[in-house]
Amino acid sequence: AQTVTQSQPEMSVQEAETVTLSCTYDTSESDYYLFWYKQPPSRQMILVIRQEAYKQQNATENRFSVNFQKAAKSFSLKISDSQLGDAAMYFCAYLFNSGGSNYKLTFGKGTLLTVNP
Amino acid sequence: KAGVTQTPRYLIKTRGQQVTLSCSPISGHRSVSWYQQTPGQGLQFLFEYFSETQRNKGNFPGRFSGRQFSNSRSEMNVSTLELGDSALYLCASSIRQGTYEQYFGPGTRLTVT
C-alpha cells in the first residue's frame, strides 16, 4: 500500500529565513505525482507545488522549491525567505493511477509550521 | 472564476441521524473528490465522482455515500451517524478525472453529539 510519512509534526522558522519540510513515501509505482498542500487556520487547502515523478528537474514556485529524490523516495519542501503568511499545516501528498479509473490522493499526517517574527 | 463551495459550513447532528453535505465545483470542473479530515486519522479519501459516476472509493463503511449531478455538483450522505464521524469534510474538484490539479473547498465541519 502507498504510504506518505512526514516525520516532523512541528517546525518553526524565523521570518526571512529558510526552512525545509521532509516527506518520504512508499510505492512500487514508477509513474506518479507528488504534491505539497498548505492548510492555514482557515482550513482552506491550497496547492503549493507539484512534481511529476518522470521529471528529473525539481519543481519551483517562487519561494517554494522541492528536492525530489526518486530512488530514495524522498520529497522535501524548501521555503525560502519565510513570511508570516506561510504559517500553516503543510501536507505532503501522493497520487497515482492504479489502473483504469482508479486515482486517489494519499496524504501524510502533516507538519505544523510556525513562523516567528 | 468562483472557487469550490461547500454547504453548510458547520453542522451539528446527534447520533443515529443522517446528514447530507453539498459541494459545488469550479465551473468547468467535472471531477469531485471527497475527503474526511480528523485529528487522529488525518486526511482520508472517501470517494471520487466523474460524469455522475463513482470512479473510486476509499475504505469507509457503506454508511458513507455520494452522488453527482449533471451539473457536476456533488452531495455526500452519511447515515446513522456515529460520534467518530465528527470531522472536517473536504471537497475537491478538478477538470477531469484523476488530474493532479485538485482545488479544495473550505470544508464542512460536522459535529456529532
Kindly identify which residue of chain A lies nearest to residue B99, measuring between CA atoms.
Answer: A103
Which residue spans within chain A are E strands per DSSP? 3-5, 10-14, 19-21, 24-26, 33-39, 46-52, 60-61, 64-69, 74-79, 88-97, 103-107, 111-116
pLDDT of B33 reads 93
- State the pairing for strand pair A111-116/A10-14: parallel
- Confidence bin at A24 (pLDDT 50/70/90): very high
Do the beta carbons of residue A92 and residue A36 sit within 8 Å?
A: yes
Using the beta-carbon criterion (under 8 Å), do A108 and B107 form an inter-chain contact?
Answer: no
Chain A environment of B55 (Cβ under 8 Å): 101-103
Distance CA(A89)–CA(B14), nearest Å, equals 30
Q: Kindly report the CA angle at B21 between A2 and B35, in degrees rounded to 5?
A: 10
pLDDT single digits (tens) A54-78? 888 999 999 999 999 999 999 999 9
pLDDT in tens, B6-45: 999 999 999 999 999 999 999 999 999 999 999 988 999 9
Q: Which of B43, B55, B107 lies nearest to residue A107, judging by beta carbons? A: B43
Which residue among B55, B88, B102 sits closest to A43, beta carbon to beta carbon? B88
Name chain A contacts of B35, Cβ cutoff 8 Å: 105
C-alpha distance across the termini of chain B, in Å? 37
Contacts A52 to B, Cβ<8 Å = 100
A106 to chain B, closest Cα gap in Å:
7
What is the predicted pLDDT for the residue at A98? 66
B82 vs A101, residue with greater confidence: B82
Chain B partners within 8 Å of A97 (Cβ): 98
Q: Which of A44, A94, A97 to mutate to test the interface with B (most CBs of B within 10 A)?
A: A44
pLDDT at A99: 66
Q: Which of A44, A102, A105 sits opposite B102 (nearest CB)?
A: A105
Instruction: Give the contacts of A22 (CB within 8 A, at least 6 positions apart).
Output: A6, A7, A8, A74, A76, A111
Rounded CA Rg of chain B: 13
